[in-house]
Each structure stands twice: as C-alpha cells, then as structure tokens.
C-alpha cells in the first residue's frame, strides 16, 4: 500500500465524520498489525454550515430550528452509533461556531508537521467539539489544541489570511464533494459516508494486494 493516499473531506462539527475517521483509524491499525502498510491520510476541508457566526451558541438550538420535532430522534440515532465506536457525543455541550479557523489550522498542520500530525490534530478537534464543548471558532482554544498535537505556529496561521482555504473549499466543490465524510483514494476513487470498519479493511487490503 506504499504510496497510497486517502483524502478525507470532512468538517470538524460533523458527527458522521468523527465516526468515519475513527473507523478508518481502526481499519488501518488492523491492516498494519497484519503486516500491511499504512496509507497517507490527508484531511481536506468542507463546511457544513458556512454561514455559522463566529460567536458560539448551543448547537441544539440550531438543530431544533433545522429538524424541529425530529431532532431528538436523529441525534439519538447518531449518538448510539457513535457509542458503539467508542465515541461519546455530547450535543448538550457542543457549540455552533464557524469552522473556517479550524480548517485553516488543519491546513497549517499538514504544511508544517505532515499528515500524521494533521490526523492527530483532527481527532483532538473532534473530541474538543463533540465531547468537551469547546468553541472551535476561538483562536486561543485552537492554539491550545494545536499545542497538544505538537503543531507549532498555530496562532499566526489562524489569524492569517484564508485565501488558501477558499481555494481548497472550491476544490472540494469542483471535485463533486457534496456531503461528508467523503474518502477519495489516490484522487480517483470516492468512498462516501462513514463505512464500517470491515469495509475499510477490505478496501485497504485490496489496495495493498
């Protein structure tokens, strides 16, 4: 599987993205334990809610406006699925905020520290949002999370321009990504949705055959 690259289009406030990346991690770990090679995994930006303001607010309010009486049913379902994968989604804590700065940080992490550090940072961002109720629109919060991931220069990157991010978001649109998570293998094969661990394992083994 040497040289294989998997691009993961996701948003840090997407519960299915959190689930999907956790499942991909589990599949990679199993394949590597069996003697296979790990692919390079790169996070790519996508915004589910580009109109979200910088000021945080309880995400449950946003879900209630969008889904009305179906909110508890929908959130209950994804919470149960996530729990089976070792993830505790705390929508009662989660704060709606614009994710542009978080995506700028992830792009920065890829540049200065590489795919592995970016992957670790993305998991910390998911945890901070879904489990800790962190404000991912706050530069200080993002800087602290970056420090935990060993990513230097985060504050400067976060406060810098976002032209590159705009180009990356446009690239996702140009490549036909309309929902997340979407996993793209070697720029050719698209795998939509949070596939189960077994499916990811079969794909990874096929790539290494």
Domains by residue range for the chain, with CATH: 5-55+98-208 (3.40.30.10)
pLDDT score recorded for residue 161: 66
Over residues 74-89, mean pLDDT:
98
Q: What is the pLDDT of residue 3?
A: 77
Whole-structure pTM value: 0.96
pLDDT at 177: 97
* Strand duo 182-185 + 40-45: pairing: unpaired
For residue 11, what is the DSSP state? Answer: -
Work out whether the CA dihedral 129, 25, 206, 41 comes out positive or negative. positive
pLDDT level of residue 208 (50, 70, 90 thresholds): confident
pLDDT at 48 over 80: yes
pLDDT at residue 1 greater than cutoff 80 = no
* Residue 149 pLDDT > 70: yes
| Mean per-residue pLDDT, 167-192 | 95
pLDDT exceeds 70 at position 2: no
Q: Is the pLDDT of residue 152 over 80?
A: yes
Please provide the average confidence, as pLDDT, over all residues in the chain: 95
Residue 14: closest CA among 141, 160, 177: 177
């Amino acid at each position: 599987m040497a040289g294989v690259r998997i691009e993961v289009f996701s948003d840090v406030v997407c519960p299915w993205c959190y689930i999907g990346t956790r499942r991909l991690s589990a599949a990679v770990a199993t394949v590597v334990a069996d003697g296979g090679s790990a692919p390079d995994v790169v996070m790519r930006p996508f915004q589910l809610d580009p109109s979200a303001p910088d000021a945080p607010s309880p995400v449950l309010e946003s879900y209630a406006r969008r889904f009305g009486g179906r909110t508890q049913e929908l959130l209950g379902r994804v919470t149960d699925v996530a729990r089976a994968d070792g993830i505790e989604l705390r929508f009662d804590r989660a704060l709606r905020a614009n994710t542009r700065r978080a995506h700028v940080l992830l792009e920065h992490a890829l540049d200065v520290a590489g795919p592995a550090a970016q992957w670790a940072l993305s998991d910390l961002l998911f945890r901070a949002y879904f489990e800790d109720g962190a404000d991912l629109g706050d530069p200080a919060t993002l800087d602290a999370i970056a420090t935990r991931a060993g990513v230097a220069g985060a504050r400067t990157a976060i406060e810098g321009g976002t032209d590159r991010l705009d180009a990356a978001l446009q690239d996702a649109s140009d490549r036909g990504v309309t929902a997340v998570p979407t996993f793209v293998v070697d720029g050719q094969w698209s795998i939509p949705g949070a596939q189960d661990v077994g499916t990811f394992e079969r794909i990874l083994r096929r790539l290494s055959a």
